[in-house]
Structure 1
Amino acid sequence: MKTHFSYALAGLMLLANTAEAGGGMEGFGVPSNMDFYGGGSVGTTSQDGACGSIANPTGCEDSDKGYKIFGGARLKPNTEPGALPSLGVEGGYINFGESSATGDLMNVRMGLSEDQGDITSNSELSGVYAAGVAFMPVAPKTEILAKAGVMRWSQKNTRQQTVIDAGVVDPLDERNISTSTSDSGFGGLLGVGAQYQMTDNLAVRGEYERGFGIGKDSNKTDPSLLSVGAVFSTY
């Protein structure tokens, strides 16, 4: 994660310097109506279904703080600015934060259930994505956007089982176990948002993004990020 963050931050600094200079990239064979942009956002996350890994849940915390770093390119129509929609591609890194759940460890004897202890489960989720983006002008300096793409997600899960016998936890009890797993895979990503152009090279973006088909087995979840951030672009 630190490597992704460092590379992305370096790229944003380079893009910001290019944008400040006010120059395009026609000298590199790039069309004059293509802009490049990058930015970062912070906000709140939710991991719907993340607490389903506990059979007898007593507590659930599936929301957290999250952030993302992104960059992309968009091809603007050769018309008056803000007159027609434009299309682009975008890639980035999203950190959905952590979810946790607690539950009772139930034991069934002679048809009756008794509380035998506690179970705790934690999950950390992040991903990198690539998506197509459509921008639609709706007012001066204001546009709405929609995206659809694919996410390569990574999930770290920990689970701890604590057996309580006669009100006492025996640290030598072999039933007290802790496991840790790491999973990864591909899922879908959809997003909608709005963007306001502060200057030629700086915009403010608010966005809602949601992942689909994320996680494996009992750790499956549909994570989302509601965020606000800044976008730096060439012009």
Structure 2
Amino acid sequence: MKQNKKVGLLGLVTCALLFSTQANAQMFDQDSQTKEWSKSAWYIGAGLGQSRTSIDEQRLVRSLMDNGANSVMFTKDERDLGYKLFLGKQLNENFAIEGGYFNLGESSFSALGNPGTLHGRVGFQGVNLDLLGRVNFTERFAFLANIGMHYTEAKAHFNGDRLYAVSDPNPSERKLNGKYGLGLEYQLTEALAVRGQIERHRVNDGVQNRGDVDLYSISLVYKMGQPAPQTRPAYVAPEPMPAPAPAPLVITETRPVQEVAKPRPVPVSEKINFSAEALFDFDKSIVKPEGKAALDQMLDSLKNMNTEVMVTVGHTDSIGSDEYNQALSIRRAEAVKAHLISRGVGADRVYTEGQGERQAIADNSTSEGRAKNRRVIVEVVGSRR
């Protein structure tokens, strides 16, 4: 029954987070306004997992032996269901303050002595305040480390015919202790992430013992107040220059009309720059419907051009390994090529190239700079009629 209540509580919180995200989620890293919001957003979270308590078996056995037991057979159950609820505030891209409530479940033991038995169980619950650090090693994955303090209440209960081995059958104790942890976080969207953590809580168990309780948990984290993404055209064809007004025609004499030679086509090379977010969903290499529309608009603007060669070049930011970014830039360039071919451009006239993160045009240390560096350039070589 106790575990069913915990599962039910965490299920309700998880469903609320998922429904909120389904109503408001926008794809991760869409624009600079969204990125600035994510650096200072408030967030909530809920986690569920397994707790493991270190029971001081030697001290309990020694206490029974000191009180007349000739031998002791000791069994213990150190694992239980644990959960936590937390509220956090991003201080910047790499640090956050996080506080919450946690319940680490119960551990129990049975000491079968000769003569007599002693049974006991102890549970832990409390509140915590942590400093959370984050280091991104890909666009979606981040390494987490947290350190902080927790104020925990330990409640114990003992029964059996060897109760005189303990001074109080129902002791409790409240103490302020330290805690720390490590984890990984995966961004599902800009607003929603899933987090796995291992956290160690230093505790007092109510009978003058100090020990550790570890919590292995999986959490959902939801950032609140996400702004609507700014809309901007993916590609705007340049407006044609107005033709100069013809000079006044003055006829001074009449001569036979001569055939005027047609102007020769003018060779040109044009580069059209698309942001990666305009063509692809985050960390994907499949052109989304909005991206296809932008590429079709580009092709429409080239109808008065004899196209000889088209080169699609993919670029990324610096988050992630060189090998991953190079492969992603090539996949995106190939995806653009495939769409151009599907719209009638000859396959032998389209070439692809991936530059990975090597040709940055902005500072990769800022979210705005990284957004500018994620791009696909289509270079068109031909002649204008």
TM-score exceeds 0.5: yes
Give the one of 64, 74, 90 matched to 1:74: 90
Matched, 1:117 2:116: yes
State the match for 1:183 in structure 2: 173
Counterpart selection for 2:196 from 203, 206, 221: 206
Kindly provide the CA deviation profile for residues 45-97 of structure 1, in whole angstroms up to 9, marking residues without a partner as x: 111135455224510111111111111011234xxxxxxxx111001112111
Structure 1 Cα separation of the partners of residues 174 and 85 of structure 2: 20
Distance change in 2, residues 1:158/1:51 (3 Å): farther
In 2 relative to 1, CA 161–219 (structure 1 residues): closer, same or farther, beyond 3 Å?
A: farther
Give me the whole-angstrom Cα distance separating, in 2, the residues matched to 1:161 and 1:135. 49
Aligned pair 1:222/2:230, yes or no?
no
Counterpart in 1 of 2:143?
A: 144
2:54 maps to: 48
* 1:36 corresponds to 2:52: no
- The aligned counterpart of 1:100 is 108
- Note the C-alpha offset of 1:22: 6.9
Q: Secondary structure at the match of 2:41?
A: strand
Partner-residue secondary structure (3-state), 1:54 = helix
Candidates 61, 77, 81, aligned match of 1:65:
81
Report the residue type matching 2:98 in the other structure.
E
TM-score, normalised to structure 1's length?
Answer: 0.71
Query: Is the 1:41–1:229 contact (alpha carbons within 8 Å) kept by the matching residues of 2?
Result: yes
* Residue number in structure 2 paired with 1:110: none
How far apart are 1:13 and its partner, in Å? 5.7
Give the structure 2 partner of residue 159 of structure 1: 158
Alignment TM-score, normalising by the size of structure 2: 0.45
Which of the two has greater strand per residue?
1
Measured in 1, the distance between the counterparts of 2:164 and 2:208 equals 21
Q: Which amino acid aligns with 1:100?
A: S
Change in CA separation of 1:140 and 1:101 when aligned onto 2, cut-off 3 Å: same
Tell me how far 1:219 sits from its aligned partner.
Answer: 4.0
Contact persistence 1:184–1:215 (CA under 8 A): no
Q: 1:129: which partner in 2?
A: 128
Q: Is the 8 A contact 1:37 1:232 kept in 2?
A: yes
**Matched letter for residue 96 of structure 1:** L
Amino acid at match of 2:45: G
Residue 20 of structure 1, CA deviation:
5.1
Structure 1 CA distance for aligned equivalents of residues 21 and 217 of structure 2: 25
Identify the structure with bigger relative contact order (alpha carbons < 8 Å, sequence gap 6+).
1
Number of aligned residue pairs: give it. 195
Query: CA–CA distance in 1 between the matches of 2:97 and 2:20?
Result: 21
Q: Is the 8 A contact 1:88 1:134 kept in 2?
A: yes
Q: Percent identity?
A: 25
**Looking at CA atoms only, which structure, 1 or 2, has the larger radius of gyration?**
2
Structure 2 counterpart of 1:88: 96
Return closer, same or farther for 1:181/1:214 CA change in 2, 3 Å cut-off.
Answer: closer
Match of 1:199, SS?
A: coil
SS of the equivalent of 2:46 reads strand
**Does the residue aligned with 1:127 lie in a helix, a strand or coil?**
strand
Rounded Cα–Cα distance in structure 2 between residues aligned with 1:144 and 1:62: 28
Q: CA RMSD in A?
A: 3.2
Distance 1:198 1:142, change over 3 A: same
Q: Report the structure, 1 or 2, having the larger helix content.
A: 2
> What letter matches 1:157 in structure 2?
A
Per-residue CA deviations over 1:179-214 (Å, capped at 9, x if unaligned) read 212211111010110110101211110001001243
- In structure 2, what residue type is equivalent to 1:41? G
- Equivalent residues of 1:48, 1:221 under 8 A apart: yes
